[in-house]
Amino acid sequence: MITCIAIDDEPLALKQMVEYINKTPFLKLAGQFESAMKAMLFLQESQVDLMFVDINMPDLSGMDFVKSLNNPPKVVFTTAYSEYAVEGFRVNALDYLLKPISYTDFLKAANKAKEQLGSTEGQTDQINYKEDFLFIKSEYKVIRIKLTDIKYIEGMREYVRIHLVNAKPVMTLASMKNFEQSLPDELFMRVHRSYIVNLNQITTIERNRIIFDEKVYIPVSEQYSEKFKKYLDENFLS
């Protein structure tokens, strides 16, 4: 699955691009934005494989937006003006789509992305666990994370989001199973298909939900409830 975003300041053009992405089986929409600035904020916290970017946008053009990124994802430019084609390929654009865009042309560009990204499809980044910390790959960097700084881990299909104490979440291409097998059992427990929690970070449990703050309620699913109940019983002050 190729994770992508769409950026276009024209609502109808953006809507069409989103529809094309949603009807393409190997594409997954991670976000849609009507300005490059909003997309830039999103990319500071999230990782994607592919961007469909309109060139002609106010404030910051699609071309300048891509040039401003360090190690940008693969890019397909869209525009109503054919004279931008050459410039688009100068910034290593994967393809260039001239509006109005047919689904046939869109699919050709998407297949180019699939061919180039296919060699990494299905692979996961290695988790290097060392005593009280681990190393993970995220956005072309290797990041060192202390285990005590992890609040909980959230599975998001091919990606995993690590939620940290007093820091922004970190995204990495990995599986929940990989994390479950790599992290120490005495500190971490899987409580749901999509969640692994740091047991030392738990402060409140209510109605089979772990409450980290007023906005975060982690459900304990039936599949993992017996193991979690056993942990509570062993640590309950009677």
CATH 3.40.50.2300 assigned to domain 2-120? The reply is yes
pLDDT at res. 30: 93
pLDDT at res. 140: 61
CATH number, domain 128-234? 2.40.50.1020
Domain boundaries of the chain, sorted by first residue: 2-120, 128-234
* pLDDT per residue rounded down to tens, the chain (238 residues): 789 999 999 999 999 999 999 988 889 999 999 999 999 999 988 889 999 999 988 888 888 898 888 878 999 999 887 665 445 445 678 888 999 999 999 999 998 898 888 644 444 445 565 668 888 887 667 788 999 999 999 988 668 889 999 888 998 878 888 888 888 888 999 999 999 999 999 989 998 899 987 788 999 999 999 999 999 988 876 5
pLDDT at res. 86: 44
pLDDT at res. 97: 92
pLDDT at res. 90: 54
pLDDT at res. 79: 87
Angstrom CA distances, 5 to 2, 117, 149, 220, stand at 10, 15, 30, 31
